[in-house]
Each structure stands twice: as structure tokens, then as C-alpha cells.
Amino acid sequence: MSFADLGLEPKLLDAIAAAGYETPTPIQKEAIPPALENRDVLGIAQTGTGKTASFTLPMIQRLGRGRAKARMPRSLVLAPTRELAAQVAENFEKYGANHKLSMALLIGGVSFGDQDAKLTRGVDVLVATPGRLLDHFERGRLLLTGIEVMVVDEADRMLDMGFIPDIERIFKLTPMTRQTLFFSATMPPEIQRITDQFLHNPVRVEVAKPATAADTISQRIVRMPIKDDRTKRAALRQLLTHKDVRNGIIFCNRKSTVDVIAKSLQKHGFNARPIHGDLAQAFRTETLDKFRSGEVQFLVASDVAARGLDIPNVSHVFNYDVPIHADDYVHRIGRTGRAGKKGAAMMLVTPADSKFYAAILKTTGAEEIEALDFSAFFEEHAAGGGHRRPSRDKADDSRSRPRRQPRKAEEQKPEPSKPEAANETPKVVADREPPAPRRRRTNPTKPSKQRESAEPVIGMGDHVPDFITRAVAS
């Protein structure tokens, strides 16, 4: 089956051919025809299967007829992260090259003024993250009553990031006559509740079992004997130097770990850069562009890059940390082996990760993931070939503080010799006069606190409080 068999118009077919695509993926085959019939679609497919084109192509064909009004976009695409929203916008520009459609991208890290100027002129396609979209709406800069098509992409990631209340509010701000295209890699109960509430008799398209990895990805693990950060970083560097590694994404659970690993790799000569939610949007965009172009070889990322990012030709994915949520494992390794290409995923598993690793096996339905033989590396590392922390023993010369060495004889100052007789005076060093003794300051107006008598004070001394001498009534 070709794209022409799906019912797409010639302008779109030319844009698809110019982009280098010839055959639609399974999710595109099942989702595009009902979407062209203006039906609601509930698409469930593993990451990397082409879900973005499944809704961008029908939207462009439908929006080709009509004109946008000021501050009233005709279509809305919601994405959980800035990177995914920017990627969707790029797809609209690529597939809509032969259509005169206007588009606005509403994400954080960009000035409100530029975004507001586009909304004022009117846009056919509005791609946004939920938070920035509601910011514009609450400022009175945006109306959602003209939405004809609404798309929710990576809905399960919306759930993880706490956007579900915002999604429900946005749904209620759009007209009931809208067409809804809802895509997700997994279908948790909370997501199912939203689809039951806001989708009208949707066509359910499920081309793969939820939370399953693509067959094009080979999976391996490295079992760490102990939970030690130095050994773990050394093992990661060993994996990165494998001959088959062309480039890769290294996933960590925490943003602070991302920064530590990126600095460590840079220190050891690796071409790596970090990306996570706390970094400036300009830096994140620049990092992704350099990674796509090959200027950056390794991308150290939090889960901000785990969902939906279409980065072609990623040869390897490395899980430095075992993901806490088992579904995230599928999304992470889905950054490689995309569009039918071969990919590889490797994960470092410590004894403390046994519970999370068991959850991954249960979710993916795998009995076990093949373990790489790193026994020789760990033996060498334990024997001293790795970066061991130096001993803190005081007897260790490498850790003990060096003793202060005595100065040379000519550098030492001569000390005055003690007089042999009482009438001899000591020699003054460097012909200096000895300092005069400091006189103790006395205040003649202030009485001295020194007692005149040297006899010890018994009890309270001469001072007896009046209440003690007062007679007690019988």
C-alpha cells in the first residue's frame, strides 16, 4: 500500500515524496483513512511508528479549505514537552510545503510578544504545550471556539507530567463539534477515562501491544556488582567506546545526574552535551540541532527527550539509570531503531534496581534481557585499574598532609642566647630596641574591684541581703 491509496490529495503526496517517504507505517495505514472522514481516532502504538504523520497529514488536507480568523485558530495540537511541540511544528512545515497554511508555536522560553503577534494575524495550525496555551487564553489573547480539529499527542506522557487537569479544561473550551485525534503509546485507566468522556465514537487503532519494544532494537544489560557511582560511570564509558557505537542518547532519572554525567564524559574526552527541563530553551534547541547534525555525538538526557522526539539515525540508547516507571523504558529505547532501522539499547542494572528491572520484564513480557559479560572489566576495576577513591589512612603519603620542612640554616633567624650571668644583657636582634612593656590602663574615677584583704570570703561576705535579717512572724 502507498500513500496514494490512503486518499491523500496530490499536493500532500508531492510533499511526502519530497520528504523521502514511500510506504506508510501500520499506524498511518489504519489512522489516516478514518481521520480523512472527519471521525475521531484513538491511536495506540509504540513510539517510533510514525504517529505524528498520522494526524498532520489529514489535518493539512482538511485545513486546505478555509481561512483563519484573528485570535481564533482552526486546529490545535497539544504536546507534553517543548521539544515534541517543536518537532510537530517542523512536520507541519515539511508536509504543508505546498499549502498556504499559517502556524504558531506556543511554548515556554519564547517571548509572549512574538507569539501574540502571530495569533493576532490568525493561524490555521496552533501547536502548543498546555501551560503556555492556557497562559495566552487567560490573558485574553486567544479564543478556542473556532477549533475544527484537536490533537492530543503522547497522552500518557501528559499524565506523567500532571497535565491531565489542563487537558480537561482545554477540552471544555473547544466546541463539541470538533474532530479529536488522540494518540498515546500506552493506555492507563486515567487516559481511558478522558477518551470515554471527550471522544465521540472513536475509531480505535492499535497496531502493537502497549508497552512493547520494537523488534528492530537489540536489548542488553550490564549487571553491576555494587552500587558505586565511580564504577558505574567507568562502565558507561566502556560501553560508549564500543566499535558499533556511532552516536547515542544516555538517559538518567534525575536532572542533577544528567549534569554530572555530561561533565564527566566531557572531562574524559567524549563529545557530549546535557538536556533537561531546567536548561534554557535556546540551549536545548541548539543541543538537539547539533545532535541531529552529528556535531554532538552523545546526548545526556532526562525523560524530557524520552517521548516522541524523532531523532533519526540514533544507533544506541544507554540507560545509565533504570527507569522508575516501566513504561518509560519502552519510550527511552524507542529513540533508536526507528522507521525500520536497526538499533541497540543497553542498561546498567545495580542490585538496588532489582524491583524496577523486574517491573520492566513484566511490562514488556520478556523473561530476561541478555547480560553482557563485564566480569573482566569489574575485576580489573576492583584490582586498581579503575578510578578508586584514595585511602584515607593517615599513614598513606598520598592522603596525609605533608609535614612542614624546617627552613635552611641561612634562612633561619638567629635567636638571642640566654645570658650566662645575671648582669649580662641579651643581644638585640637586628639592632632593635626591645619593646617597652605595656602599661595597664587604670581609671582613677572608677573604684578598683580588687579586694583589700586577702582573707577568703565565707558565705556572702560582709553583704547580707535585708530579707534574711528580717524577723519571721511566729
Q: Per-block average pLDDT, block size 10, for the chain (474 residues)?
A: 91 93 91 96 81 94 90 95 90 93 92 92 95 95 95 88 93 96 87 94 82 83 91 95 92 94 96 91 89 94 73 92 88 83 94 94 88 89 57 39 49 49 45 55 51 56 70 69
- Residue 299 near residue 284 (C-beta atoms within 8 A): no
Q: Does any domain span residue 241?
A: yes
Look at residues 190, 177, 75, 54 and name the one whose alpha carbon lies nearest to residue 128: 75
Q: How far apart are CA 228 and CA 450, in angstroms?
A: 66
Please measure the distance between the N-terminal and C-terminal CA atoms of the chain and give it in whole angstroms.
120
pLDDT for 267 equals: 96
Is residue 140 located within the same domain as residue 265? no
In the structure grid, which three cell numbers stand for residue 430, read together?
Answer: 637586628
Domain that holds residue 255: 217-385
Tens of pLDDT, residues 27-53: 999 999 999 999 999 998 776 678 899
Asked if 301 and 258 count as a contact pair (C-beta separation under 8 A), the reply is: yes
Q: How many CA atoms lie within 13 A of 436 on its CB side?
A: 3
> Domain boundary at 206, 237, 270, which?
206
User: Would you say residue 161 lies in a domain?
Assistant: yes
Q: Which amino acid is at 168?
A: E
Quote the number of domains for the chain.
Answer: 2
pLDDT value at position 214?
76
Asked if residue 392 is part of any domain, the answer here is no
Are 158 and 268 members of one domain? no
All three cell numbers of 100, joined, read: 498556504
| Sign of the CA dihedral running 96, 286, 131, 327 | positive
Residue 47 sits in a domain whose CATH number is 3.40.50.300
Q: What single letter denotes the amino acid at residue 465?
A: P
Q: Are 290 and 194 in a shared domain?
A: no
Looking at this protein, which amino acid is placed at residue 13?
Answer: L
Claim to verify: residue 150 and residue 272 sit in the same structural domain: no
Q: Where are the alpha helices (DSSP H) in 122-214?
A: 130-138, 155-160, 164-173, 189-198
Is 353 part of any domain? yes
Residues 233 and 138 placed together within one structural domain of the fold:
no
Note whether 256 and 375 are same-domain residues: yes
Q: What are phi and psi of 299, to 5 degrees?
A: -110, 115
| Spatial CA neighbour of 288 closest among 48, 78, 86, 56 | 86
- The strand order across the sheet containing 103-106 reads 103-106, 125-128, 75-78, 149-152, 179-184, 41-44, 203-206
In a domain, 312, yes or no: yes
Helices first, then strands: H and E counts in the chain: 16, 13
> Would you call 432 helix, strand, or coil by DSSP?
coil
- The DSSP letter of residue 431 is G
Say how far apart CA 303 and CA 330 lie, in whole Å: 12
The reply to whether 312 and 356 lie within a common domain is: yes
- Lookup: cell for 217: 532494537
- Three-state secondary structure call for residue 167: helix
Helices (H), 64-161: 82-95, 112-121, 130-138, 155-160
Sequence-distant (≥ 6) Cβ neighbours of residue 468 within 8 angstroms: none
Asked if 52 contacts 87 with a C-beta cutoff of 8 angstroms, the reply is: yes
Domain contains 49: yes
Kindly tell me the sign of the dihedral angle through the C-alpha atoms of 165, 170, 173, 178.
negative
Q: Is the dihedral of CA 116, 117, 121, 124 positive or negative?
A: negative
Cell of 448: 578598683
> CA-to-CA distance for 43 and 28, rounded, in angstroms?
10
191 and 302 housed in the same domain? no
Name the residue among 89, 67, 62 with its Cα closest to residue 78: 89
Q: Which three cell numbers stand for residue 379?
A: 575485576
User: Do 188 and 275 share a domain, yes or no?
Assistant: no
Q: Quick check: is 429 in a domain?
A: no
173 with 250, same domain: the answer is: no
Task: Pick the last residue of a domain from 179, 206, 233.
Answer: 206
**Residue 38 CB-half CA count within 13 A:** 5
Q: CA–CA separation, 416 vs 79, rounded Å?
A: 84
Indicate whether 238 and 158 sit together in one domain: no
Candidates 91, 140, 89, 94; CA nearest to 110 is 89
Of 360, 385, 410, which residue sits at a domain end? 385
Closest-CA residue to 35 (of 13, 71, 14, 62): 62
C-alpha cell at 381: 576495576
How many residues does the structure list for the chain? 474
Domain shared by 233 and 321, yes or no: yes
pTM over 0.85: no
Whether 393 is in a domain gets the answer no
Cα angle for residues 287, 292, 295 (degrees, 5° grid): 70
Axis crossing angle, helix 164-173 with helix 130-138, rounded to the nearest 10 = 50
Does residue 269 sit in helix, strand or coil? coil
